[in-house]
A and B are shown apart, each in its own frame.
Chain A
């Protein structure tokens, strides 16, 4: 591979590797959600070992129940770690943009930090750390998605818009949606972990989390609808915009279903609709699937909002002019 920037052709490998990492991280978030749903975080009381065996050599397939779920999470975490390392190596070898290289290092550092947080949650048996671990997981996923976007051929082609007014509004909306979606994930993590906290004020935390979760959900629905409409109207990121809208619609249904299978009908709803005729089952597949899907879809909404924000920012040339400019091939400029 030549280092001559004037003649180099962009390598597809960083992009492929970033996709691989993002695809491995999404199930990691799923299984992480399942660990919380099953309260399996303390299935093993040790880390980096699992029941005294170094975790990579633990006989996972012979494990059952909580141990199977928790160890699956550990193994997927390790896979994400190795893929992050691979991404950093590939990016440093094949990518000439300095900030992308640095971003790949940030991804690697994040996965290590995330693993340590998860490990400390086990070693210290501390639920607050589990909550923080649940909040930082989606941030790592966002970094992976960011790597996918910035290493794509579309990004490198650098198409800018002639009329920037409407796109600027879309960008601002997308950033707002990303922020709200992340805040919602943090509140959701508090909502999921506070019921199992034994602190005297856990009830107050849960109550606040429920109210904030509902308010944020209403805001996200409103802003995502507005964002999708503007994307469609101004022919900007239409597919992602519609996908985001569909995800939010699905998320509302999953959220209602999660509450119903976990906590039943609230009294006001019972007065309006009557009582449910079915009995919830603790630890059943429906509950696990609904609740965990709700968590995972939250991360997808976050990722989709970020993709729109990043891609529109690219089209607007926002903040990118200050980054090192590298020329590829025949006059192609990549920032």
Chain B
């Protein structure tokens, strides 16, 4: 999809980059400032958080989580301060050779200082690097809506993500990988808290203006004068309580992740000692499910080459796609109203307000990358981003891939009913793992025109 607004803004951003390079080179060291977390402006604009709250949200987050150079492990989060200190800040080594600033050294160029997946190189990567802030992770052993376990994050860091820019960090000492896992969780929790603060701001009611004696001030009609209530948990205990309750709620998701691990039933797990005929029979059953009940062909295509639907988005791109589409709508509406001719005073004021609003949206759009479609995996290449072990494929089939159009076939929550039984899911696993080894002519049999005959 083409986004004219985005293209124009992109060109401006390039010019801006050149200017900044020139200024930085000319001014040298004087321009160096400690890095700062940036706010999620898409969320701020979409949730219609008044701009004057931006700084206050930033201040509250700073008080709760510190800065990129000096992160703070709030007791309620259960994060390990020593690990955060090891992962945060600029890269350096102490006299014993212990490395610090690991996130800045290994991750920041893609995932960005804030963990928003918008590091300097992100625009060129395929797929875009993960935005940690919504705390949604694709490759994990837990239920779709659950947070990942530390072991899940650790596994992704150790194995990397094949077919993408995400490398394996298996050459790093274990302590460094653990520190990075902790810091990734820290950025996610901070991102979730930022969303929660928008909710807190949304729920704030205006307060009365009082004079020096504490008496409410009134307007000419005798009504009390009202003003916005600042976001300041230090002076408003009820805000503090609300923020802490949000924090408690989001931490529950992290603390209960280990209870939401998908554990396949022992008696359903196919053994390693199966005969080739048994594996083939299982794969054949999986093939029927692929084209039938599980309806995998809808996205992965009738040939399993990933040539099914091509127009859907994952959550991260969908947010930006919808944001840009909304800008188009707002812009069209303004153009239409201007074209319609004379406006009364109220309509004119509304038009001015809408223009200001549009300018704010466009300012945020300038920082976005062009949304990309979620292209389904070509299953005949044998590249499995979430891991190639049978249990990894089973988890993908069971729970789907969180944040993407890939649905799960297992129960969405404990006690619920899934589309497929565990035995059927293991059949699908066998079929998926057999696909790269099918004869080249095999996919041709299952074209849309003859798919019914094949089955």
Contacts and interface: CB of A to CB of B under 8 A. Distances in A.
Contacts of A128: 24-25, 28-29, 31-32
A207 B125 contact: no
Interface residues of B, number: 59
Contact of B170 (A51, A129, A200, A281): A281
A201 interface: yes
A131 B422 CA distance: 56
B105 interface: yes
B119 to A, nearest CB: 7
A264 B164 contact: yes
A283 B90 CA distance: 17
Interface in A201-236: 201-208, 210-211
A258 to B, nearest CB: 13
Contacts of B121: 195, 203, 206, 263
Contact of B381 (A131, A201, A263, A277): A277
A317 interface: no
A278 B163 CA distance: 7
Contacts, number: 162
A194 B21 CA distance: 9
Given A277-B383, A281-B168, A66 B99 contact: yes
B71 interface: no
Q: Most chain-B CB neighbours within 10 Å: which of A39, A64, A126?
A: A39
A282 interface: yes
Nearest to A132: B25
Contacts of B170: 281
A65 interface: yes
Contacts of B14: 204, 207-208, 211
B162 A277 contact: yes
Nearest to B20: A201
Interface majority SS on B: helix, strand, loop or mixed?
loop
Interface stretch (B75-83, B106-114, B351-359): B106-114
B120 A67 contact: no
Interface stretch (A10-18, A99-107, A164-172, A267-275): A267-275
B383 A275 contact: yes
A202 B381 CA distance: 35
B120 A206 contact: yes
A195 B28 contact: no
Contact of A65 (B68, B95, B97): B97
Contact of B90 (A42, A262, A270): A42
Interface size class of A (residues with CB under 8 A): 35 or more
A73 B129 CA distance: 33
Q: Most chain-B CB neighbours within 10 Å: which of A200, A204, A205?
A: A204
A279 B20 contact: no
Given A204-B20, A277-B382, A65 B93 contact: yes
A200 B39 CA distance: 12
A109 interface: no
Nearest to A262: B165
A65 B98 CA distance: 10
Contacts of B449: none
B363 interface: no
Contacts of B120: 194-197, 202-203, 205-206
Nearest to B382: A277
A39 B91 contact: yes
Interface of A: 39, 42-45, 51-52, 63-67, 124-126, 128-129, 131-132, 190, 194-208, 210-211, 262-267, 270, 274-284
27 contacts: A42-B93, A67-B97, A128-B28, A129-B29, A195-B108, A195-B109, A197-B120, A199-B31, A202-B120, A203-B119, A204-B20, A207-B13, A208-B18, A208-B21, A262-B165, A267-B372, A270-B126, A275-B163, A275-B378, A276-B163, A277-B382, A278-B162, A279-B162, A281-B167, A281-B171, A282-B171, A283-B171
Given A42-B101, A207-B17, A280-B168, 14 more contacts: A39-B91, A51-B95, A67-B97, A190-B21, A195-B121, A204-B13, A204-B20, A205-B18, A205-B120, A206-B17, A207-B123, A263-B121, A277-B383, A282-B106
